[in-house]
Amino acid sequence: MEYVIEMLNIRKVFGNFVANDNITLQLKKGEIHALLGENGAGKSTLMNVLFGLYQPDGGEIRVKGQTVKISNPNVANDLGIGMVHQHFMLVDTFTVTENIILGSEPTKGGKIDIKRAEREVRELSERYGLAVDPTAKIADISVGMQQRVEILKTLYRGADILIFDEPTAVLTPQEIQELIQIMKALVREGKSIILITHKLKEIMEVCDRVTVIRRGKGIGTLNVADTNPNELAALMVGREVHFKTDKKPAQPGKEVLDIKDLVVKDARGVTVVDHLNLTVRAGEIVGIAGVDGNGQSELIEAITGLIKAESGSIKLNGKEILNLPPRKITEAGVGHIPQDRHKHGLVLDFPIGENMVLQTYYKEPYSKNGILNFKNIYDKARQLIKEFDVRTPDEYTKARALSGGNQQKAIIGREVDRNPDLLIAAQPTRGLDVGAIEFIHKRLIEQRDQGKAVLLVSFELDEIMNVSDRIAVIYEGKIVAIVDPKETTEQELGLLMAGSKRKEAGVSS
Amino acid sequence: MNSGRLTNFLIPLLAVLLGVIAGSIVMVISGYDPIAGYSALLYGAFGDSYYIGETIRQMTPYILSGLAVAFAFRTGLFNIGVEGQLIVGWLAAVWVGVAFELPKFIHLPLAILAAALAGALWALIPGFLKARFKVHEVIVTIMMNYIALHVTNAIIRFVLSDKSYKSEEIHESASLRSEFLQSITDYSTLHYGIIIALIAAVIMWFLLEKTTKGYELRAVGFNQHASHYAGMNVSNNIVLAMVISGAFAGVAGAMEGLGTFANISVKAGFTGVGFDGIAVALLGGNNAFGIILSALLFGALKVGALEMPSSAGVPTELVDIVIALIIFFVASSYLIRLLLTRVKKEGK
């Protein structure tokens, strides 16, 4: 009885689409097993089959050697399988304990025995080093903590096989490290874990074995110790992937963006961008490195006109654009790939075609005298879909139905196509798989090579180091250092981002 | 795509059918013959040209109130104030109809325009409060309904008449009444309003689906943040959406004031046409042409029901219950959608 879970030759078909084509996954007791695949490769489908949300069309599931039929999630729970969902399923106004016991409340004389529940939750939390306060309200705790509540929910129900669905997508780097420690603690206590992810770094760091799937097919299972990120990426995408994006040295030209003494306050009146100065020249990519919450979002929103700045100056090609309405700024030549593509980037309930003209619908050839020209709109959409490899059934499909990577490609296509002098990319590859990341990095560099100014904001140091020609480190709303990516290290950047003063001599050498 | 369109058509149909079945059960329990009851209903709605005329007359304001609700829905707003906007529209139309004497080709459009404007103004207030201060439009529009009801009543009593319960009759030059339409429908109260309602449906469709303004309004309705990002003026669009919705509601009032009644009387309570507009819009899938069909159903139910007490002996109260059941099932089409998907799943 070596395996706790065996999914043998699982097949799942939706209509004509084969989501899982005879995939086999075997989980050993006490291991962390990665399930690796691109967005849309069929990872979630496979796990939903295991969790009883879908019924397989073929294959066999064994739990601890016994063949089982998991007809719904309750059966999965009874078999000791718990799922930590990517999108948390918590009641915001309830406490941690109330959320955890929801559906299996311990009662005493018809009343919920909340004291006992709290004690049990506390014990569990301590045992696995989760440090969760059982009496805190969900609305008051951080995203990382909320995730731990999700973990506790499964543990409270007696799960010993935990499925983590892309758990790090919503976490800060610090929280990711803590989660990794928690996962290690869980397996030490005899739990087994399936980690759904497309982040190779995490797999190399915590997993024992990895099963790769690609376009619904099982590619194979490897020992993590015997492989490397390059091999995994190639298996996942089906071709060689270059992590280091090839690029020629930058040939910076005139200043396109010139920010002087910019001050931005947030809704509470706190200064979040504090007399910031920054320039971006034509033909270069400036990367802004910083820990989340140091004014990056506000800086970008001020440049693009989404929020009002207090004072200072933002010049685009020498023309003042400070506090102009967003449309004027867009028309002045700014393209913006927003950080939150669902909130700002797309109207999810519009067809992908209509999303392609979100900023240009009022201009010819997309409309004339206030009447839309759908032929031209959809011609443009088809062209961009093809050019930017947006995988969608057709241009009439709602943006909501596309995967994150394809939504992002659509946005990039739209922004680049407007041919802006300044392209702002905020977290352009967040939540995307390596194939899409590579594609997007190439496109950004391509824009640079065409003489555009590119401003990149990212919390991923790899991305900043890899793509930027200059790195501006932001800390508490100020640019505290400008460094050359070729002459710096992650350690140095990390220190600068944490606010430590730069040692001049150390950098220039 | 095709099966989706089919379900969109099937759901309202099933809703009506379920309502009819539930109504039959109620009639059977109460000791009445449902077949006789529904036959009377059907006859009372379409039995001869007179009834057809009445049904079309009744569907006219329903189309417009349905369009008003649907327009707001499609732009992300919930206009519960169609009732109030309709009442002020009615008053404005009658006022213009009574106060002026002008050639018909000026007087009639002027009266309709006044109604649209009054409805628009009445909706401007909740629209502005929503856009500027984020006050929820549902609460404001509900309050505006009561204000409309009582203010118009006061105006009818003390301004449009000398403490009478109704206004004077409008001048012929502002009337939508048509001897021709009456004569071909055995002297029903059918008037030219139906043409205006149909034109309004085309306007709504064209405005939302074909114009850049409609594109903006829909974008703001779905996602204000993305619309702001894309350079649209979110506040203005919210106000505009409300105003257009209110204008449709105002014109619905004009249909009553210039066509059906030719005056306005003091009301003890709401007309219900505005509230029914919510159900009309839902049943019609918030789509201009769907609304015409669902308004036809509502008109037929309303008019046909009058025949049920006299020819099938079903008391008026029970008729109201049956009609309410049909509307209930229509409004809960979500339930039917759920049932339908479940049946489909098991069928596979």
Tell me whether residue B44 is in a domain: no
Angle between helices B288-305 and B34-46 (to 10 degrees): 120
Residues B92, B24 within the same domain: no
Residues B90, B20 within the same domain: no
Residues B201, B259 within the same domain: yes
Domains of chain A are 3-237 (3.40.50.300), 255-344+422-508 (3.40.50.300)
Cα torsion for A200, A202, A207, A210, to the nearest 10°? -20
Residues B6, B85 within the same domain: no
pLDDT digit string (tens) for B250-267? 999 999 999 999 999 999
Q: Of the ranges A324-333, A426-435, B73-82, B212-221, which one carries the lowest mean pLDDT score?
A: A426-435
Q: What is the mean pLDDT of residues A262-277?
A: 91
Residues B141, B207 within the same domain: yes
B132 or A404: whose pLDDT is higher? B132
Q: Which domain holds residue B16?
A: 1-32+314-348
Residues B75, B119 within the same domain: yes
Q: B20 by DSSP, 3-state: which? A: helix
Residue B39: the pLDDT is 93
- For residues A502 and A480, what is the distance between their CA atoms, to the nearest angstrom? 8
B128 by Cβ neighbours in 10 Å (0-12 / 13-18 / 19+) ranks as middle
Interface test with chain A among B215, B232, B233, by most A beta carbons within 10 Å: B215
- For residues A175 and B156, what is the distance between their CA atoms, to the nearest angstrom? 68
Output the domain CATH number for residue B73.
1.10.3470
- For residues B302 and B59, what is the distance between their CA atoms, to the nearest angstrom? 9
Q: Are the beta carbons of B241 and B71 closer than 8 angstroms?
A: yes
Say if residue A509's pLDDT is above 50. Answer: no
Mean pLDDT of chain B: 91
Interchain pair A348, B231: CB under 8 A: no
Residues B327, B264 within the same domain: no
Q: Position A285: which residue type?
A: I
Which of B58, B38, B51, B56 shows the shortest CA–CA distance to B319?
B38
Residues B110, B249 within the same domain: yes
Tell me whether residue B37 is in a domain: no
Cα torsion for B229, B234, B235, B241, to the nearest 10°? 180
| Residue numbers in A near B348 (CB within 8 A) | none
Residues B163, B203 within the same domain: yes
Say if residue A506's pLDDT is above 50. Answer: no
Percent of chain B whose predicted confidence (pLDDT) is above 70: 95
- For residues A70 and A83, what is the distance between their CA atoms, to the nearest angstrom? 14
| Residue numbers in A near B232 (CB within 8 A) | 327
Tell me whether residue B41 is in a domain: no
| Residue numbers in A near B222 (CB within 8 A) | 347-350
The residue in chain B having the minimum alpha-carbon distance to the alpha carbon of residue A325 is B231
Residues B163, B290 within the same domain: yes
| pLDDT-based confidence at residue B345 (cuts at 50, 70, 90) | low
Tokens for A131, please give them. 């440090």
Say if residue B4's pLDDT is above 70. Answer: no
Q: What is the ipTM of this complex?
A: 0.83
Mean pLDDT of chain A: 90
Tell me whether residue B38 is in a domain: no
| Residue numbers in A near B231 (CB within 8 A) | 325-328, 330-331, 359
Compute the nearest-CA separation of A434 from chain B (Å). 27
Supply the DSSP string of A195-235, one letter for each residue.
EEE--HHHHHHH-SEEEEEETTEEEEEEEGGG--HHHHHHH
Interchain pair A349, B211: CB under 8 A: no
Tell me whether residue B244 is in a domain: yes
Q: Which residues have a Cβ under 8 Å from the Cβ of B338 and sit 6 or more positions away?
A: none
- For residues B215 and B213, what is the distance between their CA atoms, to the nearest angstrom? 5
User: Is residue A8 within a helix (H) or strand (E), and if so which, with residue range?
Assistant: strand A3-14
Tell me whether residue B43 is in a domain: no
Percent of chain B whose predicted confidence (pLDDT) is above 90: 73
- For residues A296 and B292, what is the distance between their CA atoms, to the nearest angstrom? 51
Q: Which residues have a Cβ under 8 Å from the Cβ of A284 and sit 6 or more positions away?
A: A250, A252, A448, A453, A454, A469, A470
C-beta neighbour count of B147 within 10 angstroms: 15
Supply the DSSP string of B270-339, one letter for each residue.
--SHHHHHHHHHHHTTT-HHHHHHHHHHHHHHHHHHTHHHHHH---HHHHHHHHHHHHHHHHTHHHHHHH
Tokens for B182, please give them. 């009456």
Say if residue B32's pLDDT is above 60. Answer: yes
| pLDDT-based confidence at residue B337 (cuts at 50, 70, 90) | confident
Interchain pair A372, B229: CB under 8 A: no
Q: Which residues have a Cβ under 8 Å from the Cβ of A388 and sit 6 or more positions away?
A: A409, A410, A412, A413, A443
Interface test with chain B among A57, A347, A356, A364, by most B beta carbons within 10 Å: A347
Tell me whether residue B40 is in a domain: no
- For residues B176 and B256, what is the distance between their CA atoms, to the nearest angstrom? 10
Q: Tell me the Ramachandran region of residue A141: left when phi exceeds 0, alpha when psi lies from -120 to 50, beta otherwise.
A: beta
Residues B154, B170 within the same domain: yes
Would you call B2 an interface residue with chain A, using a CB distance cutoff of 8 Å? no
- For residues A186 and A448, what is the distance between their CA atoms, to the nearest angstrom? 46
- Unique residue bearing structure tokens 């002026």: B100
Question: What is the tally of structural domains in chain B?
Answer: 2
Q: Are the beta carbons of B242 and B72 closer than 8 angstroms?
A: yes
Tell me whether residue B39 is in a domain: no
Residue A376: the pLDDT is 96
Residues B66, B120 within the same domain: yes
The residue in chain B having the minimum alpha-carbon distance to the alpha carbon of residue A373 is B210
Q: Are the beta carbons of A317 and A256 closer than 8 angstroms?
A: yes
